[in-house]
Amino acid sequence: MKWLPVLPQQCILLMTCLLMVLEAVPIDIDKTKVKGEGHVEGEKVENPSGKLSRELDLVSHHVRTRLDELKRQEVARLRMLIKAKMDSVQDTGLDHQALLKQFEHLNHQNPDTFEPKDLDMLIKAATSDLENYDKTRHEEFKKYEMMKEHERREYLKTLDEEKRQREESKFEEMKKKHGDHPKVHHPGSKDQLKEVWEEADGLDPNEFDPKTFFKLHDVNNDGFLDEQELEALFTKELEKVYDPKNEEDDMVEMEEERLRMREHVMNEVDINKDRLVTLEEFLRATEKKEFLEPDSWETLDQQQLFTEDELKEFESHISQQEDELRKKAEDLEKQKEELQRQQDQLQAQKQELQQVVKQMEQKKLQQGNPPAGPAGELKFQPPGEHKVGDAPKHPAGGDQPLPPVHVQEPAARTDQVQP
Per residue in 182-239, pLDDT (tens digit) is 989 999 999 999 999 999 999 998 999 999 999 999 998 888 999 899 999 999 999 9
Give the number of other CB atoms < 10 A from CB of residue 368: 6
Phi-psi region of 209 (alpha: psi -120 to 50; beta: other; left: phi over 0): beta
246 in Cβ contact with 189 (< 8 Å): no
Q: Is the pLDDT of residue 88 over 70?
A: no
Give the number of other CB atoms < 10 A from CB of residue 59: 18
Q: What are phi and psi of 48, to 5 degrees?
A: -65, -30
Q: What is the mean pLDDT of residues 378-399?
A: 51
In angstroms, the CA 345 to CA 339 distance is 10
12 in Cβ contact with 129 (< 8 Å): yes
236 in Cβ contact with 199 (< 8 Å): yes
Question: Which among 178, 341, 200, 340 is positioned nearest to 249, based on CA atoms?
Answer: 178
17 in Cβ contact with 70 (< 8 Å): yes
Residues linked to residue 372 through DSSP beta bridges, in sequence order: 378
What pLDDT is recorded for position 34?
Answer: 40
Position 334, amino acid: K
Q: What is the mean pLDDT of residues 35-41?
A: 40
What pLDDT is recorded for position 195?
Answer: 93
What pLDDT is recorded for position 355?
Answer: 92
In angstroms, the CA 234 to CA 224 distance is 17
Q: Percentage of the chain surpassing pLDDT 70?
A: 58
What pLDDT is recorded for position 320?
Answer: 93
What pLDDT is recorded for position 312?
Answer: 94
Q: List the end-to-end C-alpha distance of the chain, in Å, as a whole number.
A: 122
- Neighbour-count burial of 408, counting CB atoms closer than 10 A to its CB (0-12 exposed, 13-18 middle, 19+ buried): exposed
In angstroms, the CA 185 to CA 192 distance is 5
Q: Is the pLDDT of residue 389 over 60?
A: no
Q: What is the pTM of this model?
A: 0.56
Give the number of other CB atoms < 10 A from CB of residue 74: 21
What pLDDT is recorded for position 256?
Answer: 94
Report the mean per-residue pLDDT for the chain: 76
